[in-house]
Protein backbone atom coordinates (compact mmCIF):
# COMPACT_ATOMS: atom_id res chain seq x y z
CA UNK A 1 0.00 0.00 0.00
CA UNK A 2 1.23 3.53 -0.73
CA UNK A 3 2.45 5.48 2.28
CA UNK A 4 -0.15 7.84 3.72
CA UNK A 5 0.85 11.48 3.61
CA UNK A 6 0.56 13.16 7.01
CA UNK A 7 0.68 16.92 6.80
CA UNK A 8 2.56 18.82 9.46
CA UNK A 9 0.34 21.15 11.47
CA UNK A 10 1.63 24.69 11.97
CA UNK A 11 -0.41 26.74 14.42
CA UNK A 12 0.09 30.44 13.69
CA UNK A 13 -0.85 33.06 16.27
CA UNK A 14 -1.42 36.71 15.36
CA UNK A 15 -2.50 39.56 17.63
CA UNK A 16 -5.28 41.19 15.65
CA UNK A 17 -7.78 40.41 12.93
CA UNK A 18 -7.76 44.13 12.07
CA UNK A 19 -4.50 43.83 10.14
CA UNK A 20 -5.55 43.55 6.49
CA UNK A 21 -2.01 42.92 5.29
CA UNK A 22 -1.81 39.78 7.42
CA UNK A 23 -5.17 38.71 6.07
CA UNK A 24 -3.86 39.07 2.51
CA UNK A 25 -0.69 37.08 3.29
CA UNK A 26 -2.48 34.38 5.30
CA UNK A 27 -5.03 33.96 2.51
CA UNK A 28 -2.22 33.28 0.06
CA UNK A 29 -0.46 31.02 2.56
CA UNK A 30 -3.60 28.95 2.97
CA UNK A 31 -4.02 28.73 -0.81
CA UNK A 32 -0.39 27.76 -1.48
CA UNK A 33 -0.35 25.11 1.24
CA UNK A 34 -3.35 23.10 0.05
CA UNK A 35 -1.35 20.31 -1.63
CA UNK A 36 1.90 20.57 0.28
CA UNK A 37 3.31 19.03 3.45
CA UNK A 38 2.21 21.91 5.70
CA UNK A 39 -1.26 22.49 7.14
CA UNK A 40 -1.42 26.05 8.51
CA UNK A 41 -3.90 26.70 11.31
CA UNK A 42 -4.61 30.35 12.08
CA UNK A 43 -5.49 31.90 15.44
CA UNK A 44 -6.30 35.60 15.75
CA UNK A 45 -5.94 36.52 19.41
CA UNK A 46 -8.33 39.50 19.25
CA UNK A 47 -10.40 41.37 16.70
CA UNK A 48 -8.58 44.71 16.82
CA UNK A 49 -6.16 46.88 18.80
CA UNK A 50 -7.10 49.86 20.95
CA UNK A 51 -4.99 52.27 18.87
CA UNK A 52 -6.55 50.97 15.64
CA UNK A 53 -10.21 51.40 16.57
CA UNK A 54 -10.34 55.03 15.35
CA UNK A 55 -8.66 54.08 12.08
CA UNK A 56 -11.58 51.97 10.84
CA UNK A 57 -13.28 48.64 11.17
CA UNK A 58 -12.26 45.12 10.22
CA UNK A 59 -12.39 44.26 6.52
CA UNK A 60 -13.04 40.53 6.45
CA UNK A 61 -12.78 40.42 2.65
CA UNK A 62 -8.99 40.14 3.09
CA UNK A 63 -9.27 37.10 5.36
CA UNK A 64 -9.99 34.28 2.92
CA UNK A 65 -8.80 31.41 5.10
CA UNK A 66 -10.17 29.52 8.12
CA UNK A 67 -9.28 31.14 11.42
CA UNK A 68 -10.28 31.23 15.05
CA UNK A 69 -10.69 34.41 17.11
CA UNK A 70 -9.96 33.90 20.80
CA UNK A 71 -11.27 37.22 22.16
CA UNK A 72 -13.85 39.63 20.81
CA UNK A 73 -13.04 43.33 20.85
CA UNK A 74 -9.64 45.00 21.29
CA UNK A 75 -6.49 43.18 22.38
CA UNK A 76 -5.75 45.73 25.09
CA UNK A 77 -9.22 45.40 26.60
CA UNK A 78 -8.50 41.77 27.50
CA UNK A 79 -6.56 41.39 30.74
CA UNK A 80 -3.13 39.79 30.66
CA UNK A 81 -4.43 37.00 32.88
CA UNK A 82 -7.28 36.20 30.50
CA UNK A 83 -4.92 36.24 27.52
CA UNK A 84 -2.52 33.85 29.25
CA UNK A 85 -5.33 31.47 30.24
CA UNK A 86 -6.99 31.59 26.81
CA UNK A 87 -3.79 31.03 24.87
CA UNK A 88 -2.63 28.25 27.20
CA UNK A 89 -5.93 26.47 26.80
CA UNK A 90 -5.71 26.81 23.02
CA UNK A 91 -2.23 25.30 23.00
CA UNK A 92 -3.26 22.39 25.21
CA UNK A 93 -6.39 21.64 23.21
CA UNK A 94 -4.73 21.79 19.78
CA UNK A 95 -1.60 19.67 19.31
CA UNK A 96 0.63 20.88 16.49
CA UNK A 97 4.06 20.20 15.03
CA UNK A 98 5.12 23.85 15.07
CA UNK A 99 3.78 26.84 16.99
CA UNK A 100 4.45 30.30 15.56
CA UNK A 101 4.35 32.81 18.41
CA UNK A 102 3.08 36.31 17.60
CA UNK A 103 5.90 38.03 19.49
CA UNK A 104 8.15 38.03 22.51
CA UNK A 105 7.35 41.28 24.33
CA UNK A 106 4.25 40.36 26.34
CA UNK A 107 3.69 38.09 29.32
CA UNK A 108 1.37 35.86 27.30
CA UNK A 109 4.17 35.30 24.75
CA UNK A 110 6.40 34.05 27.57
CA UNK A 111 3.63 31.87 28.95
CA UNK A 112 3.18 30.30 25.51
CA UNK A 113 6.93 29.75 25.18
CA UNK A 114 7.11 27.85 28.48
CA UNK A 115 3.99 25.82 27.69
CA UNK A 116 5.54 24.81 24.35
CA UNK A 117 8.75 23.86 26.12
CA UNK A 118 6.85 21.71 28.62
CA UNK A 119 4.87 20.07 25.82
CA UNK A 120 8.06 19.65 23.73
CA UNK A 121 6.52 21.45 20.79
CA UNK A 122 8.72 23.15 18.27
CA UNK A 123 8.21 26.89 18.18
CA UNK A 124 9.20 29.86 16.05
CA UNK A 125 8.60 33.52 16.77
CA UNK A 126 7.57 36.48 14.62
CA UNK A 127 9.86 39.50 14.98
CA UNK A 128 9.37 42.82 13.21
CA UNK A 129 11.65 44.85 15.51
CA UNK A 130 14.84 46.56 14.34
CA UNK A 131 17.93 48.04 16.00
CA UNK A 132 16.33 51.48 15.61
CA UNK A 133 13.11 50.84 17.52
CA UNK A 134 14.11 52.03 20.98
CA UNK A 135 17.19 52.23 23.27
CA UNK A 136 18.44 48.89 24.52
CA UNK A 137 18.01 47.89 28.15
CA UNK A 138 20.46 45.27 29.41
CA UNK A 139 18.00 43.00 31.19
CA UNK A 140 15.53 43.16 28.32
CA UNK A 141 18.26 42.27 25.84
CA UNK A 142 19.22 39.28 28.00
CA UNK A 143 15.56 38.20 28.16
CA UNK A 144 15.25 38.42 24.37
CA UNK A 145 18.42 36.36 23.97
CA UNK A 146 16.84 33.69 26.17
CA UNK A 147 13.50 33.78 24.32
CA UNK A 148 15.03 33.57 20.85
CA UNK A 149 17.43 30.82 21.90
CA UNK A 150 14.46 28.66 22.87
CA UNK A 151 12.90 28.93 19.39
CA UNK A 152 14.00 27.03 16.31
CA UNK A 153 13.54 29.99 14.04
CA UNK A 154 12.50 33.61 13.57
CA UNK A 155 10.17 35.08 10.96
CA UNK A 156 11.14 38.71 10.35
CA UNK A 157 10.54 41.46 7.82
CA UNK A 158 13.40 43.00 5.92
CA UNK A 159 17.14 43.34 6.29
CA UNK A 160 16.91 45.40 9.46
CA UNK A 161 14.74 42.83 11.21
CA UNK A 162 17.23 40.16 10.20
CA UNK A 163 20.16 42.16 11.60
CA UNK A 164 18.28 42.68 14.85
CA UNK A 165 17.57 38.97 15.25
CA UNK A 166 21.21 38.14 14.55
CA UNK A 167 22.29 40.64 17.23
CA UNK A 168 20.25 38.54 19.67
CA UNK A 169 22.21 35.42 18.83
CA UNK A 170 19.98 33.89 16.13
CA UNK A 171 21.88 32.12 13.35
CA UNK A 172 21.30 33.64 9.93
CA UNK A 173 20.17 30.26 8.57
CA UNK A 174 17.35 30.20 11.14
CA UNK A 175 15.90 33.57 10.12
CA UNK A 176 13.20 33.62 7.48
CA UNK A 177 12.57 36.97 5.82
CA UNK A 178 9.36 36.99 3.77
CA UNK A 179 8.82 40.26 1.95
CA UNK A 180 6.53 42.71 3.71
CA UNK A 181 3.38 43.06 1.61
CA UNK A 182 0.55 45.56 1.85
CA UNK A 183 -3.12 44.69 1.42
CA UNK A 184 -3.87 46.54 -1.80
CA UNK A 185 -7.41 46.94 -3.16
CA UNK A 186 -8.76 43.72 -4.63
CA UNK A 187 -8.95 45.35 -8.08
CA UNK A 188 -5.44 46.79 -7.96
CA UNK A 189 -3.90 46.92 -11.44
CA UNK A 190 -0.31 48.11 -11.85
CA UNK A 191 -0.76 48.68 -15.59
CA UNK A 192 -3.81 50.83 -14.88
CA UNK A 193 -1.80 52.89 -12.38
CA UNK A 194 0.90 53.59 -14.97
CA UNK A 195 -1.67 54.40 -17.64
CA UNK A 196 -3.18 57.05 -15.40
CA UNK A 197 0.22 58.69 -14.92
CA UNK A 198 0.83 58.72 -18.66
CA UNK A 199 -1.98 61.26 -18.89
CA UNK A 200 -0.56 63.61 -16.26
CA UNK A 201 2.03 66.35 -16.70
CA UNK A 202 4.36 68.14 -14.33
CA UNK A 203 1.75 70.90 -14.03
CA UNK A 204 -0.56 68.40 -12.34
CA UNK A 205 1.64 68.64 -9.23
CA UNK A 206 1.55 72.41 -8.85
CA UNK A 207 1.09 73.70 -6.29
CA UNK A 208 2.78 70.76 -4.54
CA UNK A 209 0.84 68.69 -2.01
CA UNK A 210 2.50 66.43 0.55
CA UNK A 211 0.73 63.55 2.25
CA UNK A 212 0.96 61.81 5.62
CA UNK A 213 -1.07 58.67 6.40
CA UNK A 214 -1.05 56.94 9.78
CA UNK A 215 -1.71 57.32 13.47
CA UNK A 216 -1.50 60.79 14.97
CA UNK A 217 0.98 59.77 17.66
CA UNK A 218 4.23 61.25 18.99
CA UNK A 219 6.33 58.32 17.75
CA UNK A 220 5.33 59.17 14.18
CA UNK A 221 7.35 62.42 14.23
CA UNK A 222 4.43 64.61 13.22
CA UNK A 223 5.71 67.60 15.17
CA UNK A 224 8.86 67.44 13.04
CA UNK A 225 6.74 67.23 9.91
CA UNK A 226 4.75 70.38 10.70
CA UNK A 227 7.95 72.30 11.47
CA UNK A 228 9.67 71.04 8.31
CA UNK A 229 6.64 71.89 6.23
CA UNK A 230 6.79 75.48 7.50
CA UNK A 231 10.33 75.66 6.07
CA UNK A 232 9.08 74.25 2.77
CA UNK A 233 6.25 76.81 2.71
CA UNK A 234 8.76 79.62 3.17
CA UNK A 235 10.26 78.63 -0.18
CA UNK A 236 7.07 77.40 -1.86
CA UNK A 237 4.15 79.44 -0.48
CA UNK A 238 1.50 77.42 -2.31
CA UNK A 239 2.49 74.05 -0.85
CA UNK A 240 -0.12 72.05 1.08
CA UNK A 241 0.05 69.20 3.60
CA UNK A 242 -2.72 66.59 3.86
CA UNK A 243 -2.76 64.55 7.07
CA UNK A 244 -4.82 61.34 7.12
CA UNK A 245 -5.41 59.48 10.37
CA UNK A 246 -6.65 59.67 13.93
CA UNK A 247 -5.00 59.76 17.31
CA UNK A 248 -4.23 61.77 20.44
CA UNK A 249 -2.16 64.48 18.70
CA UNK A 250 -4.94 65.95 16.58
CA UNK A 251 -5.56 69.08 18.69
CA UNK A 252 -1.83 69.63 19.23
CA UNK A 253 -1.08 69.45 15.50
CA UNK A 254 -3.86 71.91 14.68
CA UNK A 255 -2.51 74.32 17.29
CA UNK A 256 1.04 73.95 15.97
CA UNK A 257 -0.08 74.68 12.41
CA UNK A 258 -2.01 77.74 13.64
CA UNK A 259 0.99 79.09 15.59
CA UNK A 260 3.16 78.75 12.47
CA UNK A 261 0.61 80.62 10.37
CA UNK A 262 -0.30 77.56 8.31
CA UNK A 263 -3.90 76.90 9.35
CA UNK A 264 -4.99 77.11 5.70
CA UNK A 265 -2.07 75.00 4.43
CA UNK A 266 -2.44 71.93 6.66
CA UNK A 267 -5.59 69.83 6.42
CA UNK A 268 -6.34 67.10 8.95
CA UNK A 269 -8.83 64.86 7.14
CA UNK A 270 -9.34 62.27 9.86
CA UNK A 271 -9.21 58.53 9.11
CA UNK A 272 -9.92 57.29 5.58
CA UNK A 273 -9.85 53.87 3.98
CA UNK A 274 -7.36 53.06 1.24
CA UNK A 275 -9.86 53.59 -1.56
CA UNK A 276 -10.26 57.20 -0.40
CA UNK A 277 -6.51 57.71 -0.03
CA UNK A 278 -5.57 56.45 -3.51
CA UNK A 279 -6.58 59.69 -5.31
CA UNK A 280 -4.25 61.58 -2.95
CA UNK A 281 -1.38 59.26 -3.90
CA UNK A 282 -1.93 60.22 -7.53
CA UNK A 283 -2.08 63.94 -6.71
CA UNK A 284 0.68 64.26 -4.07
CA UNK A 285 4.34 64.93 -4.80
CA UNK A 286 5.27 62.54 -1.98
CA UNK A 287 4.10 60.53 0.97
CA UNK A 288 6.06 61.64 4.05
CA UNK A 289 6.71 59.20 6.91
CA UNK A 290 8.83 61.01 9.55
CA UNK A 291 8.63 58.31 12.24
CA UNK A 292 11.05 58.21 15.17
CA UNK A 293 10.42 54.45 15.36
CA UNK A 294 8.83 52.28 12.66
CA UNK A 295 9.44 48.52 12.33
CA UNK A 296 8.58 48.68 8.62
CA UNK A 297 6.07 51.26 7.31
CA UNK A 298 3.43 49.54 5.18
CA UNK A 299 2.03 52.86 4.01
CA UNK A 300 5.26 53.20 1.99
CA UNK A 301 4.33 49.98 0.16
CA UNK A 302 0.90 51.44 -0.57
CA UNK A 303 2.23 54.77 -1.83
CA UNK A 304 4.85 53.20 -4.11
CA UNK A 305 2.30 50.71 -5.46
CA UNK A 306 0.32 53.72 -6.67
CA UNK A 307 3.36 55.46 -8.15
CA UNK A 308 3.77 58.04 -5.38
CA UNK A 309 7.37 58.71 -4.30
CA UNK A 310 8.21 58.88 -0.60
CA UNK A 311 10.20 60.81 1.99
CA UNK A 312 11.00 58.42 4.85
CA UNK A 313 13.00 58.78 8.06
CA UNK A 314 16.06 56.59 8.49
CA UNK A 315 14.35 54.85 11.44
CA UNK A 316 11.81 53.10 9.21
CA UNK A 317 12.52 49.41 8.58
CA UNK A 318 11.56 49.55 4.90
CA UNK A 319 14.32 52.00 3.92
CA UNK A 320 16.95 49.51 2.59
CA UNK A 321 14.46 47.65 0.42
CA UNK A 322 12.07 50.34 -0.80
CA UNK A 323 13.66 53.80 -0.70
CA UNK A 324 16.02 54.18 -3.63
CA UNK A 325 17.48 57.70 -3.28
CA UNK A 326 16.44 59.94 -6.15
CA UNK A 327 14.46 57.09 -7.74
CA UNK A 328 11.57 56.15 -5.48
CA UNK A 329 12.18 58.91 -2.94
CA UNK A 330 14.54 60.16 -0.27
CA UNK A 331 15.46 59.40 3.32
CA UNK A 332 16.62 61.71 6.11
CA UNK A 333 17.91 61.54 9.68
CA UNK A 334 15.00 61.09 12.07
CA UNK A 335 14.36 64.16 14.22
CA UNK A 336 16.37 66.48 11.94
CA UNK A 337 13.78 69.06 10.86
CA UNK A 338 16.12 70.84 8.43
CA UNK A 339 17.06 67.54 6.75
CA UNK A 340 13.39 66.61 6.46
CA UNK A 341 12.54 69.92 4.80
CA UNK A 342 15.43 69.50 2.35
CA UNK A 343 14.27 65.97 1.47
CA UNK A 344 10.73 67.29 0.90
CA UNK A 345 12.10 69.94 -1.47
CA UNK A 346 14.35 67.43 -3.24
CA UNK A 347 11.49 65.01 -3.91
CA UNK A 348 9.67 67.66 -5.96
CA UNK A 349 12.03 66.88 -8.85
CA UNK A 350 10.60 63.36 -9.17
CA UNK A 351 7.25 64.75 -10.26
CA UNK A 352 8.81 66.66 -13.15
CA UNK A 353 8.66 63.28 -14.93
CA UNK A 354 6.10 61.49 -12.80
CA UNK A 355 5.31 58.71 -15.32
CA UNK A 356 8.97 57.64 -15.22
CA UNK A 357 9.10 57.87 -11.42
CA UNK A 358 5.86 55.88 -11.13
CA UNK A 359 7.34 53.11 -13.28
CA UNK A 360 10.29 52.79 -10.91
CA UNK A 361 8.00 52.76 -7.88
CA UNK A 362 5.69 50.09 -9.29
CA UNK A 363 8.64 48.00 -10.48
CA UNK A 364 10.12 47.93 -6.97
CA UNK A 365 6.78 46.90 -5.49
CA UNK A 366 6.40 43.99 -7.92
CA UNK A 367 8.66 42.02 -5.57
CA UNK A 368 6.56 42.75 -2.48
CA UNK A 369 3.32 40.87 -3.04
CA UNK A 370 1.23 38.85 -0.60
CA UNK A 371 1.84 35.73 -2.68
CA UNK A 372 5.62 36.11 -2.50
CA UNK A 373 5.46 36.77 1.22
CA UNK A 374 3.34 33.68 1.76
CA UNK A 375 5.58 31.48 -0.40
CA UNK A 376 8.66 32.46 1.59
CA UNK A 377 6.81 31.93 4.86
CA UNK A 378 5.80 28.46 3.73
CA UNK A 379 9.39 27.66 2.80
CA UNK A 380 10.40 28.71 6.30
CA UNK A 381 7.92 26.39 8.01
CA UNK A 382 9.10 23.50 5.84
CA UNK A 383 12.70 24.32 6.76
CA UNK A 384 11.94 24.55 10.49
CA UNK A 385 10.18 21.18 10.46
CA UNK A 386 12.78 19.48 8.28
CA UNK A 387 10.29 18.04 5.81
CA UNK A 388 10.61 17.59 2.07
CA UNK A 389 8.01 19.37 -0.02
CA UNK A 390 7.54 16.63 -2.61
CA UNK A 391 7.47 13.57 -0.39
CA UNK A 392 5.23 12.18 2.36
CA UNK A 393 5.83 13.71 5.79
CA UNK A 394 6.86 11.59 8.69
CA UNK A 395 4.09 11.15 11.20
Distances (CA, A) of 219 to 159, 249, 335: 22, 11, 11
Same domain, 238 and 167: no
Q: Provide the pLDDT for residue 132.
A: 86
pTM score, whole prediction: 0.93
Judgement on whether residues 352 and 375 belong to the same structural domain of the protein: no
The alpha helices in 260-369, defined as continuous H runs, are 274-283, 298-305, 319-322, 337-346, 354-365
Residue 106: helix, strand or coil by DSSP? coil
Can you give the residue range of the structural domain that contains 135?
8-181+369-385
Tens-level pLDDT at each residue, the chain (395 residues): 445 568 999 999 999 999 999 999 999 999 999 989 999 999 999 999 877 766 778 999 999 999 999 999 999 999 999 999 999 999 999 999 999 999 999 999 999 999 999 999 999 999 989 988 777 788 889 999 999 999 999 999 899 999 999 999 999 999 999 899 999 999 999 999 999 999 999 899 999 999 999 999 999 999 999 999 999 999 999 999 999 999 999 999 999 999 999 999 999 999 999 999 999 999 999 999 999 999 999 999 999 999 999 999 999 999 999 999 999 999 999 999 999 999 999 999 999 999 999 999 999 999 999 999 999 999 999 999 997 654 333 32
Task: Based on the fold, state whether residues 125 and 207 are members of the same structural domain.
Answer: no
Number of domains, the chain:
2
Alpha-carbon 174 to chain mean position: 21
| Residue 5 pLDDT | 66
Q: Are residues 29 and 170 in the same domain?
A: yes
The helix/strand/coil state of 316 is strand
* In a domain? residue 391: no
**Same domain? 20 vs 161:** yes
Do residues 219 and 260 share a domain?
A: yes
What CATH number has the domain bearing residue 88?
A: 3.40.50.2000
Does one domain contain both 229 and 163? no
Predicted pLDDT at 393: 31
Q: Tell me, yes or no, whether 390 lies in a domain.
A: no
Same domain, 207 and 323: yes
Angstrom distance (rounded) from CA 289 to CA 55: 17
33, 173: one domain: yes
Amino acid sequence: MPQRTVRKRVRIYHNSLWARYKGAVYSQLYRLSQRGPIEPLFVQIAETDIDRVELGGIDLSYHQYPYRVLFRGAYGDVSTFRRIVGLTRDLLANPSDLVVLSGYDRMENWAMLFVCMLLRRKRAVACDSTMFDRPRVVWKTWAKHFFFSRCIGVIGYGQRSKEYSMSLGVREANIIIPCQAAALPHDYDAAGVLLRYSRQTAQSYLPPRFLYVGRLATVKGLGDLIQAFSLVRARMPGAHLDVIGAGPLKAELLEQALELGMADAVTLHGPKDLAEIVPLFFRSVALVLPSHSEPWGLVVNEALSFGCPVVVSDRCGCVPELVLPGVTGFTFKSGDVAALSEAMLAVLALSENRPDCAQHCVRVMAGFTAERAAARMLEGYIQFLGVRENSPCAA
